[in-house]
Amino acid sequence: MKIGILRETRRWKDRRAAITPQVAKTIMDTWPEVKIVAQPSEVRIFQEQEYIAAGVEMVEDLSDCDLLIGVKEVSEEAFIPGKTYFMFAHVVKEQEHNRSFFKDMAVKKITLLDYEYFTGKNGLRLVAFGHWAGVVGAYYAIMAIMKSYLNTDIPHPTSFYDVDEMVNFLKAFKIPPVKLVITGDGRVGQGAAFILREHGIKEVAKEVFLNETFTEPVFCMLPFTDYVKPKPASQVLLEEFFTHPSEFESTFEAFTKAAHVYLPCHYWDPNSPVFFTKEDMQKEDFHIKIVADISCDVPGPVPATIRTSTHEEPFYDLNPNEMKEETAFSGLDNILVTAVDNLPTALPINASNTFAEALLKHVIPAFFNGDAQGVLHRATILQDGKLTEKYSYLEGFLKG
| Amino acid letter, residue 42 | E
Q: Which among 391, 363, 384, 389 has a CA at the least distance from the CA of 375?
A: 363
What are the angstrom distances between the C-alpha of 398 and each of 120, 213, 328, 366, 387?
27, 51, 36, 28, 9
Looking at the DSSP bridge assignments, the partners of residue 98 are none
Residue 316 has pLDDT above 90, yes or no: yes
- Taking residues 338-357, report their average pLDDT: 95
> Which three-class secondary structure string do you get for 240-268?
HCCCCHHHEEECCHHHHCCCCEEEECCCC
pLDDT at 64: 97
How many angstroms separate the CA atoms of 276 and 24, rounded? 45
Alpha helices in the chain (DSSP H): 21-30, 48-53, 99-107, 130-150, 163-170, 187-198, 206-211, 253-256, 278-281, 348-362, 375-379, 395-399
pLDDT at 306: 96
Residue 12 has pLDDT above 80, yes or no: no
Mean pLDDT of the chain: 95
| Amino acid letter, residue 217 | P
Q: 388: pLDDT confidence band, cut at 50, 70 and 90?
A: very high
pLDDT at 390: 95
The pTM for the full model equals 0.87
Looking at the DSSP bridge assignments, the partners of residue 319 are 324
How many angstroms separate the CA atoms of 259 and 249, rounded? 20
DSSP character at residue 354:
H
Encode pLDDT of 110-146 as tens digits: 999 999 999 998 888 999 899 999 999 999 999 999 9
How many angstroms separate the CA atoms of 387 and 108, rounded? 13
Peptide bond into 344 cis (omega under 30): no
How many angstroms separate the CA atoms of 53 and 298, rounded? 42
Q: Which among 80, 138, 139, 150 has a CA at the least distance from the CA of 108?
A: 80
Residue 323 has pLDDT above 90, yes or no: yes
DSSP character at residue 230:
E
How many angstroms separate the CA atoms of 157 and 148, rounded? 17
pLDDT at 340: 95
Q: Which among 145, 12, 27 has a CA at the least distance from the CA of 4?
A: 27
Share of the chain above pLDDT 90, in %: 89
DSSP character at residue 363:
T
pLDDT at 206: 97
What are the angstrom distances between the C-alpha of 293 and each of 39, 84, 208, 246, 307?
33, 32, 24, 22, 10
User: What domains lie within the chain, and their CATH numbers?
Assistant: 2-127+348-399 (3.40.50.720), 130-346 (3.40.50.720)
Residue 11 has pLDDT above 90, yes or no: no
| Amino acid letter, residue 184 | G
pLDDT at 230: 96
pLDDT at 255: 98
List the Cα angle 203/205/209 in 5-degree steps: 85
How many angstroms separate the CA atoms of 139 and 128, rounded? 19
Encode pLDDT of 250-299 as tens digits: 999 999 999 999 999 998 888 999 999 999 999 999 999 999 999 998 88
Q: Which among 399, 378, 398, 400 has a CA at the least distance from the CA of 390?
A: 378
- Taking residues 202-212, report their average pLDDT: 97
- Taking residues 353-366, report their average pLDDT: 97
Residue 9 has pLDDT above 90, yes or no: no
Q: Concatenated DSSP letters for 263-287?
A: EE-----TTSPPS--HHHHTSTT--
Encode pLDDT of 25-70 as tens digits: 999 999 999 999 999 999 999 999 999 999 999 999 999 999 999 9
Helices (H) and strands (E) in the chain, counts: 12, 18
How many angstroms separate the CA atoms of 161 and 91, rounded? 32
- Taking residues 174-200, report their average pLDDT: 97
What are the angstrom distances between the C-alpha of 8 and each of 83, 175, 371?
17, 36, 27
Encode pLDDT of 216-242 as tens digits: 999 999 999 999 999 998 999 999 999
How many angstroms separate the CA atoms of 152 and 327, rounded? 17
How many angstroms separate the CA atoms of 177 and 167, rounded? 20
- Taking residues 355-370, report their average pLDDT: 96
